[in-house]
Structure 1
């Protein structure tokens, strides 16, 4: 429950009624409110704490929503949401049926543009500004708040390059805190550090050279100074650039000291900041850790192995390899297109490249995947973390499209491991040498083998490419699963009536598919049910249906998976239920198939 000044603010109009001398107190109340809610409900913490004063100043000076405010990478936007009519709903943040953790146009008129991925705000703001010019509105303001890790992305540079030769009324605000989720990297980060420390020559300002009116650096936690500077810039036409220095996690000492851990820390004590124990001891490993530990072990034995990740070394567990082999594990920043083509270039020289990209972010490098890797048949090993439904991050982050967008690419191998052991073995198999690129998709979260590291880690078996496995024979209905969603199938078969009726087949290889096994299945069973944690249209089930059409089989086929809709936020279990691929949903499909 909000108290004090914050309790009186339902819209930015209410905010603008305050005196400037009241804004520091409001900043403290807003910071405390976010800490209170996130400590109990989880979510993104550090990024929003770092822009509290900037958020207040922006809504205080500009006439939002008539002036457009776009947040680049939406996890900065909690304060924005609270000040724009969603204070009372903030307790539902990231929950099923609640508000989104990211800006979302359908949620509020104050969310000028939906932002879940990075580096899009400048292009969107420029598009709005150019449209305003065409509509004869030269007074409207368009503000893009961009993190320093995001501005290093190619798309952000494309936006800056274009904006600098226009008369668009656009203000780009660089939220410079030297960290995205992990610390920022690259030459631009070094340049910004030099600017902050006063070591660069003002005559050598790269932003000014792009025809922007540059101001800064400005203390991003001095709300009065921010208000004064924003009011000055409000009166200047054309492209403007404000360099703001902030501290991620500001106002919470442990979050300031441990910025990676407190990006999204889980539940914590709101008074001390101490992260609460989550009883991880004895739990099965996270799939990302199986990847990271396996690749590290393989890299110890194979000096040709290199790792590439676009700004996710901790989230992908590439950090294990980076710590031991810093020259062979590369963080390229938020630059998925560059990561993919870099991997292709290294593969031409005989390197064994593990390119780890979250499934949802691989979408940003689709042309490079086709043109720079698959077309040239380069054996890059793409490891697609967070494949499937990822939970509370919602529609912008679900990795549900990869099977469909990869399956149509010639030369591409696609593999979805059933469990940790299968993931370890496909990583081992891939580094032995494949003739084609491979995409290995695995989910967010934990597997099923609590003793994986003790019993299986480092004990490898090569996998035959394109082979499916019969896990149990049945009489009349065959269930075909791809990936870890097969564990739901296993649980469903354990409770369904007359289980002997149902056969179960694990199709780890979605492409190439085991056609010999498919012929056996279609000749033996009357009904086929496919189960996948991806979109039904164009996915694994579609591949099975295409096989049936091609070979003139007339069996009844039912496809279970993610429907043709953008799935919102919720726990993974809740979203499985929503899509009908939880255990009860699969049991019901089996029951109907057996009638």
Structure 2
């Protein structure tokens, strides 16, 4: 391909084994070629760009200094690991990133021995690295564990829980704090680099340990005073007192793009007997690519783009996104109601709350990567009379499940959960799929669970949430765009637990929850063409179920099928339970449930994922025809029974 960058040195480095054979003065060229290769690849595939560009030199230095994969290198979140993938035997597939059958956009254990721990959710790296380090210690095996964690991930309490428990790992554990927006330290220069190299050197640590041995001969108060004096002296010079208090030997800050500074410090840390160690590295998102440096937020995640201009591909004009519709509807509700406020956990643009914040900055709260706190904070607001909307991706709300149960549901507090990215999400794959929220929320007493079938229903459901004060209520909606309906000028308050008949038939009934309604209508047309009169029901609520509508529907049709964008244990399971309670199973009902398969599906285009899952019109028609052909009657739960 003519647009491939010229990479003569990178071409000779398929794995870190070859990297470690290079001379130190060759690493600058390697880093430059690695950066060019990453830019070229992501311009073709789309994906995360800025974070990976910021760690190119750090990636080269870590693989050069440490003996990976024996030394375990763990990237927090993983969206900055594209350079790591290129250097660890996956360059030939790097232009398949996030494509069906291609490389994951995150680290993945099944993909490479250089990915010892899978990631995609934040703030897990230090805990995992500590596990590797302690396991090696207990087994008497060599090898260090290196966690690379960004300062955004340091906003989550889990990182500090791990650090507080890290002391037993000793020098087997190294934490690299990738400070990529200078929220912790100011710009670094030659003096800070010199200090970092000095305090990580064997000479300094040797003198420090000698001083420790001398002070042991002094009375205890003098020992304690001397230790504190040395610790705080280094803390004042480097800014690492917090990490010292958590039991880490702090080194830094150091320029993460200067290999002449990075390499000697990492070598000192590798060979040190001191530990655990935290190395504070300051980097710049988008480093080395002008458009990304100038607008790091817009180049965090990108579509395909032109390398020269940086211009990203734009999708054809179409219906607004569900996220955008939610933001607009919530803003309209807040105009009418001063008690409405919004909470996000480090995803203001992803949830649309950046637009809400522009209108209501005092009623918008970004709590950082702290979903547990977000939920209990919302519970406190609700208990004091506010109407909080807690907008969190389905996959991230899982991190706060105890708080949903204990702090919200048990106390029956009217927290509104706006659950974005419900269902399958395409290129982000299994780690970001919203597969489980129906199952884990609809089991809870006091909880109301709704799912929008289209953008009009989403507006009505936001309004319904705003007016509902009898307990917690959840609204789920998918990634992507609506179906193109005109939004209502005046929203409708829905009756809790009431579905709607979209199409009336006599033989077959399709009961849908969420945006599979469109596929249900397509299937109904195909079934009608074969002479099968078909009803289509939008249940709207997974909890409480519209028991009267479901009972009448099951009694009046020969075959009934439920379909939902969720895992087993959701709508289908609840409808089956209701049918059993009503005695309809004994009456010979043919009931089938379609839901996500009991697997973690890999990344692909959403429409292909749903086809693979058996949640499209083809699967509905196939399920109905097979049910009608069966000689025996009964209830079956399965994807394509």
- When normalised by structure 2's length, the TM-score is 0.87
Which deviates further from its counterpart, 309-318 or 549-558?
549-558
Question: Which SS does the other structure have where 1:313 is aligned?
Answer: coil
1:434 matched to 2:469: yes
Q: Which runs of 5+ in 2 are unaligned?
A: 193-234, 630-641
Question: Which SS does the other structure have where 2:41 is aligned?
Answer: helix
Question: Which SS does the other structure have where 2:361 is aligned?
Answer: coil
Aligned-residue offset at 1:366: 0.5
Which of 554, 557, 568 is the aligned partner of 2:591? 557
The equivalent residue for 1:223 is 259
Which of 488, 495, 512 is the aligned partner of 1:481? 512
The equivalent residue for 1:186 is none
Aligned-residue offset at 1:61: 0.6
Aligned-residue offset at 1:196: 6.0
Question: Which SS does the other structure have where 1:346 is aligned?
Answer: helix
1:67-146, aligned counterparts within 5 Å? 67-137=71-141, 139-146=142-149
The equivalent residue for 1:373 is 408
The equivalent residue for 1:310 is 345
Q: Is the 8 A contact 2:188 2:255 kept in 1?
A: no
Aligned-residue offset at 1:494: 2.8
Q: Deviations for 1:256-298, whole angstroms, at most 9, x for unmatched residues? A: 1211111112011011212233223xx1110000111111111
Mapped to 1, the partners of 2:435 and 2:188 lie a distance apart of 41
- Judged with a 3 Å threshold, the aligned counterparts in structure 2 of structure 1 residues 44 and 195 are, in CA distance, closer, same or farther, namely closer
Aligned-residue offset at 1:84: 0.6
The equivalent residue for 2:334 is 299
Structure of larger gyration radius: 2
Mapped to 2, the partners of 1:545 and 1:487 lie a distance apart of 23
- When normalised by structure 1's length, the TM-score is 0.94
1:398 matched to 2:430: no
Q: Is the 8 A contact 1:284 1:451 kept in 2?
A: no
Q: Is the 8 A contact 2:77 2:120 kept in 1?
A: yes
Aligned residues: 576
Mapped to 1, the partners of 2:540 and 2:187 lie a distance apart of 50
- Judged with a 3 Å threshold, the aligned counterparts in structure 2 of structure 1 residues 593 and 445 are, in CA distance, closer, same or farther, namely same
Question: Which SS does the other structure have where 2:591 is aligned?
Answer: strand
1:49-448, aligned counterparts within 5 Å? 49-137=53-141, 139-164=142-167, 166-167=169-170, 169-178=172-181, 189=183, 192-193=184-185, 201-202=236-237, 205-237=241-273, 238-280=275-317, 283-448=318-483
Q: Is the 8 A contact 2:98 2:105 kept in 1?
A: yes
Aligned Cα root-mean-square deviation (Å): 1.8
Q: Deviations for 1:100-146, whole angstroms, at most 9, x for unmatched residues? A: 11111111111010101000000000011111111113x41110000
The equivalent residue for 2:212 is none
Question: Which SS does the other structure have where 2:601 is aligned?
Answer: coil
- Judged with a 3 Å threshold, the aligned counterparts in structure 2 of structure 1 residues 152 and 384 are, in CA distance, closer, same or farther, namely same
Which of 524, 527, 543 is the aligned partner of 2:559? 527
Q: Which runs of 5+ in 1 are unaligned?
A: 180-188
Q: Is the 8 A contact 1:415 1:510 kept in 2?
A: yes
Q: Deviations for 1:510-535, whole angstroms, at most 9, x for unmatched residues? A: 00000001110121112111111111
Aligned-residue offset at 1:548: 1.1
Mapped to 2, the partners of 1:446 and 1:204 lie a distance apart of 46
Q: Is the 8 A contact 2:134 2:168 kept in 1?
A: no
Q: Deviations for 1:177-201, whole angstroms, at most 9, x for unmatched residues? A: 129xxxxxxxxx4xx1458699x83
Q: Is the 8 A contact 1:46 1:249 kept in 2?
A: yes
